[in-house]
Structures are given as structure tokens and as C-alpha cells.
DNA sequence: GTTAGCACTCAACGTTTAGGAGTGCTAACA
DNA sequence: TGTTAGCACTCCTAAACGTTGAGTGCTAAC
């Protein structure tokens, strides 16, 4: 039975009014308030009856007898799915930011997180792109000193990774040059899946005595791309914004929440979940217990996936109280995504 | 007039007892407690007289009449300077961490911050090394595609910086090779100060048509070294530890503190101060108002400078309540520094 | 179906009360 | 002269109490 079946138009109006006022004030909403706030011209008594029904149906609840009503998780869900309509929310400044430095992704991400946190007054998180089906663009080996080789790996979207690997066998400049050419010829333009055993063994044969270097480099390419070197690239900003919302800012809760934001590995679960359940528009809303992170059960989380290049995906998330301004957050995120999209499309070649 | 002149031995004993108990309990210390805690065999009344004196001298104070005494900033200062003696505090795990990956500094730093926070139960911060008098080790230009040049700059201590610069003039592989040789010949082994106008103009002449590239590269070298691309590399950890100390964990204070930890640019002031006032042992203690960051006036901060290579310095800081366990923190830091030192010395060549 | 009316509930807040920890001071003591 | 016992006093804390007001549920009348 769908929500619409349970609720007649009047109930929807009232529910809407309750949620809207609660979003604004953060205080339980009473029947008298609704009676005045709506243009239904109903007495508070009638509203009370309706509210009683709505409570029975699970859309609203009372913090205690003789208090007004507040939305339940289900109420919020209904609001987000059925009632709400997005505003037009512009995120300016983004264009400047991006145009300035497409070449330093992690800086861009940090700034974007900050911007989002400031714009929304909630906490923001953003994960660095995970490059699954992503093409290798360029590899460069350089001899830094007699014993160390610098490996620079550039992936589509201009993500750069460096690592040092030790040199075991003799390696002169010419050999290095050949190795560079070999690696680039063999690997450039390939996705991680396309670097299969065939490609690898062919390379090793060609590399001759330096096949161990090839091995190491491939290892680095793999870890670099899988990104599983316990360096979870997740940036957060505006954690302290949660202090603006009394329902989250008592010691216990605040500590746990901020702790979660700090300890990025917990956020990874969230990101994985987003990626696995992949909704149509790419924007997803988690309300209360719906969130895959238990410490955030008193929060709502809005996530969006962004895409830098082909298969180069990351996740943005806004974390705030359940009574967050969903309209604003959703449209801010949507705006950000389209801006990102158009700008990055232009930048592609 | 020095502290020692003002305080006879008995006063010192009492002051010491007061501070020690307060550090442990966090509660104002009464005269009776001291009378029992010390082996002075004095009645509480006598202690009271002494305490009254100590208060007049500014070493302790009362939160309100008819409460026990708590140390004043001056009292803490006296404790840190004169009374305290460091424990032996081992930070294990560090060796493993460092040996594993000297090549990825920022990861190392993040982990070190985390380790410190966990070991001490306070908040930890750590700034990436600022490379002033530091030698350039290696430069590599590579053509990523037709319009972009990848610049990789390696500095002593294996700090790696990448940037992309656009290509304006025609540049074939041979030209690129020559440019690479030119840059490395001219710049390798030089400190930032040594790259003066003479060096620069000589290079430009040799670079001929590609002097614009040289220009850009030098610019990148400069910003990379100065590190003033608004990417302040300061890592923090354990911010939520402050919730363990009631005197810091009320909404207002906690919010400001965590905000400061999050907004790294405020911490920069602290680091600058540390570097400018450079104490002998390299470890410094800021108590309350002494801290150059106003938002931390209710805290104490213990900082230490670490050194990776020649002139490659960074700062570590522990932020906690004024009643922090100075002995533990100081010795933990000192232990960390010596460990770092010996391990890195070994790694040097 | 709607509404006025009324008794009832309960969090929030201010006041009061009692208790206790700790002080400062005085006077006596060694 | 330094030390100590004794005592009145202060002030925080926590519990107990009363008051207020917002809001409800229910009933009866429209």
C-alpha cells in the first residue's frame, strides 16, 4: 500500500505544514500552530484529530505526551519523496576554483568540501575519485639517485601518484629510456581490467633483465589504482557546524559524530553503500537509521556521485540533522554536479 | 625575582602536591587533602595558611570562595619549568611505520598524528616539513599530451611535488630531453636561496626558445618550496579527545577548539610562533594565554620540531587541557623525536 | 464532520532546602 | 613564632517543590 493511498489530500497538507514548520523551528509543532499556519480554516481540534491519525500511521510522533509533534523518519522520507520540491540554489565560486587548478585534484576536493559546508551549514565530506574503469594516461620512471627510481603515474583526469622503488639490477640511462618507452607503449590508454596477464607477460619478455622493475611498477599501478594503501582519501569540512543544531550537539552525540568524520575509514562504508545502491539521478538521501553508519543514526545524509573522467567516480556527502533543509541541500548538490559536469566536459579532449 | 626566591621548600612541596593532585582529579584541591597526601605532617590549618600565601603569589587560585585551589597559569608554568621530571614513555610502532614508507611523507605524518593522539589522549597536530634551506634533488619534465607538461620536483627528504604547466611553444622529444638535462644540471643540489638571478639568467640563455618553460618551472619550484599554495599541509588527529575533559567539552568551547583544529590556517600561526621562538631542546610548552592562538587559551600546547633532512623542518603539537599530563606528553614527544632522528639518520646517505 | 470546552499531562523553569566541602579567622598552645 | 583546634561563614550542588504554559485527548454540542 503506497503512502498516497493512506493519506487524503488534507492529511498531506497538514503533514507538509508540520514538517515545514519543524524544519524551520526545530520545535515540536502543535495543533494550534497548524490551524493558523495553513489556509485550511480548520480549528485546532480538527487538526488534532488528523494529527492523531498521522501519528498512528507513523508519519509523526510526540517526544512526550502533551508536546507537539515532530516528523518521524517515515515522515521525513515521505517529505523527501513526495512533497518537497527543489529550489534553485546556485553555488558560485566553483567555476573559478575549478578553472584555476584542474591539475591538483586533492586541493580542489578540499576546497569543494569547504565550500559546501559553508553554503549549507552542515558537515560536508567528499571522497577522492576511485579509479576503477579508468585509463592510464602516462607513466614516467626517473632515476632519482643511484638506488632509487621515481615512478610517476598519471591517470585520466590528471590524477597523479608518485612512489619510489628501489633499483636492484644495473640500470643505465638508455635502459631507463627503453623501459619508459616500453611501459608507455604497452600500458597507455588501458584500463585496469585491460592490463591482463597477456599484456604483462609480453612486457616482461621485452623488458629482459629489468622485468623485476616492470613487476614493481605494475604493483604500484595496481595499488595506486585500487587506492588501498590505508590512505583513504576522504576530505571533510564543517564538522563544527553540527554544534548549530542542539539535537546533535550534546557531548555524547557530538563526540561520536565528529569522531566519525575524523576517522575516515568509517565514512568509507557510506561511500561503498552509495556506490552499490546507485540511484537514478545519482543523488541519494539517507534518513536516520537508513544510513549505513550507525553513529549517524540521528542525522540525515545526502550524497551525490560526481564523475571526472570515464569511470572516475567519487562521492560527495552532506551530513546534518534529520531536520535539514533538504530542498536546499539537494538543489545545491544538483547544481554543483551540473556545474562540475559542464566544466569538466569542456576541459576534456 | 625568580620563583625560587619567593618560595621556600615547604611551599614548593605543597604547590607540587596541589598541582599533582589536580592533574589527576581535575577537581579543586582542599587543604585537608594536602595535609594527608604529603608527608609534611602539617595540619590542614597550616596548609591553609600556606595556600593563602601561594594564592597571593599567584601560583594557585580559587574557582570561588570556599572551594579548593586550582593551579593558575603561573602555577603550571612553575610546575613545568621547575618541578616536573619526565618519565620514560615509549612510543612503539613508530619504527615499523617509518621503515615501511619513508617515501610517502604525508601518509607518515597522518599516521604519526593518529598515533600521538591515541598515545596521549589529547589532540595532535603535525605540520608537513617546510622546506626552507632545502636542496633540490631532481626535476623531471614530461610531455603528458600535446598541450601539457608534467613537472615533478623532488626535494631532499624525498618530498615530491607535481604540477602541470601548459606548453606554448613547439617542443619535441629532443628539446624536452635537453631541457631536462639543463634544469637538472643547473639546479640540482641547490637550496632555494642559491637559485639566484645569475643562475636563472644563465639558464634562460641556454634554454633559448624555451625560456618561458624555464620561467614557469622556476615559478613552480618557488611556490612548491614556499608551499604557499593555500594547501596548508597540517594534519590533525584525535580532536574528539577533548570531549574527555569536561573543562573543554561544553558546546561553546568544544566547537571553537575543534573548529580551530579543522581550519588549519589558524594552526599555522602556532607553527610560525614555534619556529620563531625556537627553544633549546626544541620542545616548547604553551600554557593558556601563552598560546599564539586565542581560541586555545583554555588549553596547553606542547610542541616539538622535527627535522627530516637539512633544513627540512616541521612541527608536532599536542593540544590538551591545561591540566594535561605534561610529564607524559613531554617524554612521549621527546621519545618520538629521538626515534625519528636515529631512524632517519640511518636512512640518509 | 467540525468545533468549543475542559480536564489532564508533562517539560521547563525558578525557588527553596539541606548537605557538604572548604575556607578564613581567632585564640590557644608548644 | 609557628602550629593547630575550633568555629562561623560562604557557596556550590543536588534534590525537592511549586508554578506555569503549551499541548493533548476526550466529550458533547452544533
- Is the model's pLDDT at A349 over the cut of 80? no
**CB-CB under 8 Å, A162 with B162:** yes
pLDDT in tens, A219-228: 888 766 665 5
**Does A152 contact B at CB distance below 8 Å?**
yes
Pairing of the two strands B136-145 and B148-155: antiparallel
Q: Give which of A173, A190, A96 is closest to A134, Cα–Cα.
A: A190
- Measure the CA–CA gap between B54 and B69, rounded to whole angstroms: 10
Report in angstroms the alpha-carbon separations of B320 from B32, B127, B241, B249, B325. 29, 17, 8, 11, 9
Predicted pLDDT of residue B108: 81
- Measure the CA–CA gap between B34 and B19, rounded to whole angstroms: 10
Task: Find residues 283-322 of chain B whose CB sits inside 8 Å of chain A.
Answer: none
Strands (E), A118-233: 123-127, 130-131, 136-145, 148-155, 159-166
pLDDT in tens, A285-308: 999 999 999 999 999 999 998 887
Asked if A134 and A155 touch (Cβ cutoff 8 Å), the reply is yes
Q: Give which of A42, A34, A36 is closest to A14, Cα–Cα.
A: A34
- Measure the CA–CA gap between B329 and B317, rounded to whole angstroms: 10
At residue A127, the 3 state secondary structure works out as: strand
Predicted pLDDT of residue A133: 58
pLDDT in tens, A59-106: 999 999 989 999 999 999 999 999 998 888 777 776 666 655 545 677
Task: Judge if the beta carbon of B345 is closer than 7 A to nucleic acid strand D.
Answer: no
Asked if A302 and A285 touch (Cβ cutoff 8 Å), the reply is yes
B135 forms beta bridges with: none
Q: Based on the number of CB atoms within 10 Å of its own CB, is A267 exposed (0-12), middle (13-18) or buried (19 or more)?
A: buried
- Measure the CA–CA gap between A310 and B185, rounded to whole angstroms: 39
**Does B181 contact A at CB distance below 8 Å?**
no
- Is the model's pLDDT at B132 over the cut of 90? no
> Where residue B154 falls among pLDDT bands split at 50, 70, 90?
confident
Min Cα distance B24 → chain A (Å) is 22
**CB-CB under 8 Å, A239 with B258:** yes
**Does B180 contact A at CB distance below 8 Å?**
no
Predicted pLDDT of residue B349: 41
Q: Which residues touch strand C (CB under 7 A)?
A: A 41-43, 45-46, 49, 63-67; B 27-33, 44-45, 48, 51-52, 55, 62, 65-69
- Is the model's pLDDT at A113 over the cut of 90? yes
Phi/psi of residue A140, nearest 5 degrees = -135, 125
Asked if B204 and B219 touch (Cβ cutoff 8 Å), the reply is no
Predicted pLDDT of residue A103: 53
Predicted pLDDT of residue B62: 95
Please, what's the b/e burial string for B278-308 (b: 16 or more CB within 10 A of its CB; e: otherwise)?
eeeebbbbbbbebbbbebbbbbbbbbbbbbb
Q: Which residues of A touch B137 (CB under 8 A)?
A: 144-145
Lowest mean pLDDT among A111-115, B82-86, B311-315, B319-323: B311-315
Task: Judge if the beta carbon of A21 is closer than 7 A to nucleic acid strand D.
Answer: no
Asked if A169 and A176 touch (Cβ cutoff 8 Å), the reply is no
Q: Strand order in B136-145's β-sheet?
A: B136-145, B148-155, B159-166
The grid coordinates listed for B261 are 583544529
Domains in chain B with CATH codes: 3-83 (1.10.10.10), 94-128+233-347 (3.30.450.40), 136-226 (3.30.390.60)
At residue A125, the 3 state secondary structure works out as: strand
- Measure the CA–CA gap between B340 and B342, rounded to whole angstroms: 6
Predicted pLDDT of residue B326: 97
Asked if B136 and B189 touch (Cβ cutoff 8 Å), the reply is yes
Phi/psi of residue B282, nearest 5 degrees = 90, -10
User: pTM of the predicted model, to two decimals?
Assistant: 0.82
Task: Judge if the beta carbon of A60 is closer than 7 A to nucleic acid strand D.
Answer: no
Lowest mean pLDDT among A86-95, A104-113, B266-275: A86-95
> Where residue A329 falls among pLDDT bands split at 50, 70, 90?
very high
> Where residue B225 falls among pLDDT bands split at 50, 70, 90?
low
Which helix (H) or strand (E) segment is B96 a member of? helix B94-100
Report in angstroms the alpha-carbon separations of B9 from B12, B14, B58. 5, 9, 17
Whole-number percent of chain B with pLDDT over 90: 46
Lowest mean pLDDT among A225-234, B139-148, B178-187, B296-305: A225-234
- Is the model's pLDDT at B63 over the cut of 70? yes
pLDDT in tens, B165-209: 888 888 888 889 999 999 999 988 887 778 888 888 888 888 888
Mean pLDDT, range B240-254, rounded to an integer: 91
Task: Judge if the beta carbon of A62 is closer than 7 A to nucleic acid strand D.
Answer: yes
DSSP letter at A244 equals G
Task: Judge if the beta carbon of B52 is closer than 7 A to nucleic acid strand D.
Answer: no
Amino acid at each position: 500500500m503506497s503512502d498516497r493511498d493512506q493519506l487524503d489530500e488534507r492529511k498531506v497538507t497538514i503533514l507538509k505544514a508540520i514538517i515545514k514548520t519543524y524544519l524551520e523551528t526545530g520545535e515540536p509543532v502543535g495543533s494550534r500552530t497548524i490551524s493558523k499556519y495553513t489556509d485550511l480554516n480548520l480549528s485546532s481540534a480538527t487538526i488534532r484529530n488528523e494529527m492523531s491519525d498521522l501519528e498512528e500511521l507513523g508519519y509523526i510522533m510526540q517526544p512526550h505526551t502533551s508536546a507537539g509533534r515532530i516528523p518521524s523518519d517515515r515522515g521525513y522520507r515521505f517529505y523527501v519523496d513526495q512533497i518537497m520540491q527543489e529550489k534553485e540554489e546556485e553555488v558560485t565560486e566553483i567555476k573559478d576554483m575549478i578553472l584555476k587548478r584542474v591539475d591538483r585534484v586533492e586541493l580542489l576536493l578540499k576546497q569543494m568540501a569547504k565550500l559546501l559546508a559553508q553554503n549549507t551549514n552542515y558537515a560536508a565530506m567528499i571522497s577522492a575519485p576511485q579509479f576503477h574503469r579508468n585509463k592510464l594516461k602516462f607513466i614516467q620512471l626517473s632515476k632519482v639517485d643511484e638506488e632509487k627510481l621515481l615512478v610517476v603515474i598519471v591517470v585520466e583526469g590528471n590524477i597523479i601518484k608518485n612512489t619510489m622503488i628501489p633499483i636492484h639490477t644495473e640500470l643505465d640511462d638508455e635502459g631507463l629510456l627503453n623501459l619508459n618507452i616500453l611501459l608507455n607503449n604497452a600500458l597507455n590508454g588501458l584500463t585496469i581490467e585491460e592490463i591482463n596477464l597477456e599484456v604483462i607477460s609480453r612486457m616482461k619478455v621485452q623488458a629482459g633483465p629489468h622485468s623485476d622493475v616492470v613487476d614493481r611498477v605494475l604493483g604500484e599501478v595496481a595499488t595506486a589504482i585500487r587506492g588501498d594503501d590505508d590512505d583513504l582519501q576522504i576530505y571533510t569540512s564543517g564538522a563544527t557546524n553540527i554544534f548549530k543544531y542542539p539535537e546533535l550537539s550534546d557531548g555524547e552525540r557530538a563526540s561520536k559524530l565528529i569522531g566519525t568524520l575524523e576517522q575516515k575509514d568509517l565514512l568509507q562504508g557510506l561511500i561503498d553503500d552509495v556506490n552499490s545502491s546507485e540511484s537514478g539521478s545519482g543523488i541519494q538521501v539517507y534518513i536516520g537509521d537508513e544510513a549505513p553508519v550507525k553513529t549517524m543514526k540521528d542525522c540525515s545524509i545526502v550524497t551525490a556521485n560526481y564523475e571526472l573522467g570515464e569511470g572516475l567516480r567519487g562521492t560527495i556527502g552532506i551530513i546534518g540533522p534529520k531536520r535539514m533543509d533538504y530542498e536546499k541541500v539537494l538543489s545545491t548538490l544538483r547544481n554543483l554536479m551540473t556545474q562540475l559536469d559542464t566544466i569538466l566536459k569542456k576541459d576534456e579532449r
